[in-house]
């Protein structure tokens, strides 16, 4: 088998999973990332973080080959097609979704079929339990090889003859047209489970095909456009990142993929950020994935029910864990030498006041769609709004989780305004007991404070924090959440200033340009690019928005996946991958473009459009 490149581009990977964990599959047939049993668990395979010590599971031709890949239509079943000089073989990778098919969920299935000619192939598995820290034993057993550490084990099951050497399990086999070999990686708890690989594949395809977004040729689909397939893939990614037990959605399935190659901006994203709540609920509901939206909503409402407002964290584990202690894995070299590799995330202990506004956005979105709040839930919502009323004028770490000290971030103030605004709306519309006069007074104080201290007359734009001239892409959200109307000259000036200062090549939008307490640079944020598209579309600059959105989508990989960031100079993807918020951004940008083009939406108007229709600003 040809030697693999040490590190492949981040965007070259495909992703599969079982609604509890995910694996990244390289175009050469190597699984280079696989935590088990859950996303936030230690890895069994982590070659993407250390090519020598991380561990990989590769199936591929023994001679030179070319590759193309695809997902089976509207599923998370990945096909890698190898083309050699002698023939063609297809590698099909999947895991049965937990609780959805009558097959064990803790089995990673790999099916190899020769479709033309003949192909010589090899298997190479090097398990490295606990991020490569655990001692591992390899023993031949009936039907395969058992790899075990003190805590975990995997059984490599296949009819191919296998050998054990230097901590690796290898085997070679040949296939002719029409022949198939199954290779199963049975993880802890599934070593002796009854499996029917063909049935598992059929049931998994059936589940995904039936689950996803569907619209007919005569439907007025809100996502109609050249981006429809990208929206569907984004939906499938979001579902793949949704934990079957809790309904929580991970920000990404990976840790420490760098925002700056060779730098220190490497974070663990295998957790749920509450700030994603409002925009995630909006995306899921408009896609028609109502059950997932409700499960996610119930999950974070339950979290809020069990914590006082001041103790609500910005992020939690996928089972609601609060202790996310950040540690460095010093023995791993990191993706292309990007160290440190981190597990856990100390941002969980930061004070981020914006989260309360995002929580109220989600509550408002669900209530607009008919979800009633019971008395206990309303008491908790009221407590949150009361808390915001007391602390809105204090500094915090902000949405970007800066590690250079707390500041008076404009976006945090605006989201405190949102918490008051949506709390007032909910109390009035549902005749709930609340100190409305006090809430209304505070809401107006926040507005006045932001307009006085958060807007720079000389620049003609809202800035990142009080007393600075730094621009921040979060200012694009001010009209989206209803703080000001789209045709306000301060909103339009902010959009233009961000276009001039933070946008590269029309579509790459930086979060901000300013010191955040960390060395190094970062790429453009995909989510910020989506925010920019939304601001243009809802300002009436529809053709400009559409053109830029189409340009952005060209940077998705051929499978429709995207990371957190894109390098404007090279087009390479950076950061953890695939990124939930990036895909949420794609869904919501498509939604807003559908909205301004007059498509009927499956629910209420997009959140935040409460001050009248979007502005009509002629395209230039």
pLDDT tens sequence across 369-424: 889 899 999 999 999 999 999 999 999 999 998 877 899 999 999 999 999 999 99
Q: What is the domain range of residue 89?
A: 10-195
Domain co-membership, 215 together with 102: no
pLDDT tens sequence across 102-124: 999 999 999 999 999 999 999 99
Helix (H, G, I), strand (E, B) or coil at 355: helix
**What's the pLDDT at 1?**
63
Rounded distance between C-alpha atoms, residue 440 and residue 548, angstroms = 38
Rounded distance between C-alpha atoms, residue 55 and residue 125, angstroms = 8
- Residue 271 resides in a domain: no
Distance in angstroms between the alpha carbons of the first and the last residue of the chain: 56
pTM value is 0.95
Q: Report the CATH number that the domain containing residue 89 is assigned in CATH.
A: 2.70.98.40
Domain co-membership, 100 together with 59: yes
Rounded distance between C-alpha atoms, residue 542 and residue 525, angstroms = 21
Dihedral angle computed from the Cα positions of residues 538, 419, 524 and 227, in that order, rounded to the nearest 10 degrees: -40
**What's the pLDDT at 16?**
98
The alpha carbon of 130 is separated from its chain's Cα centroid by a whole number of angstroms, namely 23
Domain co-membership, 515 together with 604: yes
Domain co-membership, 124 together with 225: no
Number of domains in the chain: 2
- Residue 438 resides in a domain: no
Which two structure tokens, joined as six digits, stand for 137? 């034993």
Q: Which residues are CB-contacts of 335 (< 8 A; sequence separation ≥ 6)?
A: 7, 10, 48, 49, 256, 257, 258, 261, 266
Which two structure tokens, joined as six digits, stand for 505? 């090549």
- Residue 491 resides in a domain: no
**What's the pLDDT at 275?**
85
- Residue 511 resides in a domain: yes
> Read out DSSP for 69-90?
EEESTTSS-EEEEEE-SSEEEE
Which two structure tokens, joined as six digits, stand for 132? 């490569």
Domain co-membership, 170 together with 218: no
Rounded distance between C-alpha atoms, residue 606 and residue 614, angstroms = 11
Rounded distance between C-alpha atoms, residue 560 and residue 618, angstroms = 32
Q: Which residues are CB-contacts of 313 (< 8 A; sequence separation ≥ 6)?
A: 274, 307, 322, 348, 349
Which own/partner contact pairs does 79-85 have at CB distance under 8 Å and 24+ positions apart? 80/14, 80/25, 80/27, 80/29, 82/29, 82/119, 84/117, 84/119
Domain co-membership, 62 together with 187: yes
**What's the pLDDT at 586?**
97
Give, in degrees to the nearest 5, the angle at Cα 375 between 374 and 376.
95
Give the residue from 21, 598, 591, 611 showing the smallest Cα distance to 280. 591
Q: Could you tell me if 96 and 204 are in contact, meaning their C-beta atoms sit under 8 angstroms apart?
A: yes
Domain co-membership, 164 together with 222: no
**What's the pLDDT at 460?**
98
For the chain, list residues with pLDDT below 50: 607-608, 610-620
- Residue 1 resides in a domain: no
Domain co-membership, 220 together with 151: no
Domain co-membership, 81 together with 219: no
**Looking at 428-532, which runs of residues are DSSP E strands?**
455-456, 461-462, 503-504, 508-509, 524-525
Q: Which of 167, 195, 223 is the last residue of a domain?
A: 195
Domain co-membership, 98 together with 230: no
- Residue 67's H or E segment, with its range, is strand 66-71
- Residue 281's H or E segment, with its range, is helix 277-287
- Residue 519 resides in a domain: yes
- Residue 370 resides in a domain: no
Domain co-membership, 24 together with 162: yes
**What's the pLDDT at 370?**
87
**What's the pLDDT at 193?**
87
- Residue 397 resides in a domain: no
Q: Which of 135, 166, 195 is the last residue of a domain?
A: 195
Domain co-membership, 174 together with 216: no
Q: Could you tell me if 41 and 131 are in contact, meaning their C-beta atoms sit under 8 angstroms apart?
A: no
| Maximal CA-CA distance, the chain | 78
């Amino acid at each position: 088998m040809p030697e693999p490149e040490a590190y492949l581009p981040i965007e070259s990977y495909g992703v599969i999973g079982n609604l509890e964990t995910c694996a990244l599959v390289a175009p050469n047939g190597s699984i280079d990332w696989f935590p088990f049993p859950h996303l936030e668990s230690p890895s069994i395979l982590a070659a993407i973080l250390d090519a020598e010590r991380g561990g990989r599971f590769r199936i591929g031709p023994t001679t030179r080959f070319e590759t193309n890949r695809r997902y089976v239509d509207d599923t998370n079943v990945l096909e890698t097609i190898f083309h050699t000089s002698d023939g063609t073989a297809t590698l099909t990778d999947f895991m049965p979704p937990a609780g959805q098919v009558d097959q064990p969920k803790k089995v990673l299935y790999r099916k190899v079929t020769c479709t033309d000619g003949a192909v010589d192939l090899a298997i190479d598995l090097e398990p490295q339990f606990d991020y490569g820290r655990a001692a591992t034993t390899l023993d031949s057993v009936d039907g395969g090889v058992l790899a075990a550490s003190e805590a975990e084990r995997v059984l490599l099951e296949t009819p191919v003859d296998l050998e054990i050497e230097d901590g690796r399990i290898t085997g070679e086999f040949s296939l002719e047209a029409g022949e198939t070999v199954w290779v199963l990686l049975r993880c802890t708890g599934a070593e002796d489970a009854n499996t029917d690989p063909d049935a598992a594949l059929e049931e998994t395809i059936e589940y995904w095909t039936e689950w996803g977004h569907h619209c007919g040729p005569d439907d007025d689909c809100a996502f109609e456009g050249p981006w429809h397939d990208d929206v569907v893939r984004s939906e499938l990614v979001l579902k793949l990142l949704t934990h079957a037990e809790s309904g929580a959605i991970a920000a990404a399935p990976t840790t420490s993929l760098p925002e700056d190659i060779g730098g220190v901006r490497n974070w663990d994203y295998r957790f749920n950020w509450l700030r994603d709540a409002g925009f995630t609920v909006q995306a899921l509901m408009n896609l028609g994935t109502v059950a997932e939206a409700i499960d996610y909503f119930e999950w974070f409402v339950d979290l809020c029910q069990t914590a006082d407002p001041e103790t609500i964290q910005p992020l939690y584990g996928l089972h609601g864990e609060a202790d996310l202690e950040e540690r460095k894995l010093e023995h791993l070299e990191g993706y292309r030498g990007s160290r440190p590799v981190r597990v856990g995330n100390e941002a969980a202990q930061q004070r981020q006041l914006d989260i309360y506004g995002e929580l109220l956005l989600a509550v408002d979105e669900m209530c607009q769609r008919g979800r009633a709040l019971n008395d206990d839930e309303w008491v908790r919502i009221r407590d949150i709004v009361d808390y915001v009323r007391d602390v809105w004028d204090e500094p915090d770490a902000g949405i970007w989780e800066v590690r250079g000290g707390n500041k008076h971030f404009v976006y945090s103030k605006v989201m405190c305004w949102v918490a008051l605004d949506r709390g007032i709306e909910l109390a009035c519309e549902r005749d709930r007991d609340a100190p409305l006069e006090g809430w209304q007074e505070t809401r107006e104080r926040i507005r006045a404070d932001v307009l006085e201290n958060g807007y720079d007359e000389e620049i003609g734009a809202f800035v990142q924090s009080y007393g600075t001239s730094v621009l921040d892409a979060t200012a694009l959200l001010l009209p989206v959440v209803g703080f000001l109307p789209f045709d306000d000259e301060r909103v339009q000036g902010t959009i233009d200033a961000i276009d001039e200062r933070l946008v590269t090549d029309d579509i790459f939008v930086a979060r901000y340009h300013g010191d955040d307490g960390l060395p190094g640079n970062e790429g453009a944020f995909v989510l910020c690019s989506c925010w920019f598209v939304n601001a243009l579309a809802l300002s009436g600059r529809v053709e400009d928005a559409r053109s830029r959105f189409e340009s952005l989508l060209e940077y998705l990989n051929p499978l429709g996946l995207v990371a957190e960031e894109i390098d404007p100079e090279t087009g390479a993807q950076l950061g953890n991958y695939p990124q939930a918020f990036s895909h949420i951004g794609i869904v919501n940008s498509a939604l807003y473009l559908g909205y301004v083009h007059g498509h009927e939406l499956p629910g209420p108007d997009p959140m935040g459009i409460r001050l009248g229709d979007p502005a009509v600003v002629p395209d230039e």
